[in-house]
Chain A
């Protein structure tokens, strides 16, 4: 464990590849949100306060006039319910954190940040400064480039022409590969992926999220073996 500055820098340096990969994703989000009629300041506010990329893409997809508040909040709970389990896991490694530090760290730790924090736990002690090194740089990166996307997004032309809209999926695929522990992981991902895709194609709204999540945990429970009380790795391949 180094000084606070060293820990902060170590976190920021560790997350740097994710920051770079996230730039086109944030630009794309800003562009899509602006196309749905959100002003740049509204886009920035959403990125700064909601600060959850996966949810923001799903929400913009469902955005309509009048704003479907109930649907959006329900979607937020369903898409982000995974945070409860991530928080439960990383929270156990935050015994040395002050209460404000803990609550602030939980705000800035996203999927990628959480995976990197869990990896830090495995190689030593997780400090608040390390969490904020990851979290603050990710927050600045996400808010700045989604704002930029909202302002100049259309100047780029069609983002799908550059495959930008695939970058988001690609980052999540890398995180998912980090979760790989054995063939059961494959069964869980196959079930949740196929079921959610089928429901997405046939049922309007956000039900595909719930259906896919239930299919995944159902398979996880069904494939459970007594020898298999593993923790998800959440470690990125690097």
Chain B
């Protein structure tokens, strides 16, 4: 069990930055008045960023991951979350074995 000062500072910095993004929304309630294209852009920012976070893993890793992502999408439209995740994980294991 060791604690490194630089690591602690980095963790603290990330924690502060993250909490600021979490509470900033509470101060921005006037965003309700934004309409039109800007509103559409803002509404779609959360899913766009979620997509970006997984893009390297599903689109830039290998064929198995990309196909498994497609299978997970189909499963998620029809099945509960846990079942869709299990199918996604099982298909990536199977596809990795197939594609070597």
Contact = CB atoms under 8 A, between A and B. Distances in A.
Interface of A: 17-18, 20-21, 24, 38-42, 45-46, 49-52, 54-55, 57-59, 66-69, 72-73, 76-77, 79-92, 94, 102-103, 106-107, 109, 111, 160-177, 179-180, 184-185, 188-189, 191-194, 196-197, 200-201, 208-209, 212-213, 215-218, 220-221, 223-224, 226, 228-232, 234, 236-238
A86 B88 contact: no
A51 B39 contact: no
Contacts of A188: 44, 47-48, 51
B54 interface: yes
B41 A221 contact: yes
A92 B19 CA distance: 18
B98 interface: no
A76 to B, nearest CB: 4
Interface residues of B, number: 74
Contacts of A69: 6, 9-10, 13
Interface of B: 1-4, 6-15, 17-26, 28-29, 31-32, 35-60, 65, 68-69, 72-73, 76-82, 84-85, 88-90, 92-93, 96
A197 B41 contact: no
Contacts of A103: 23, 26
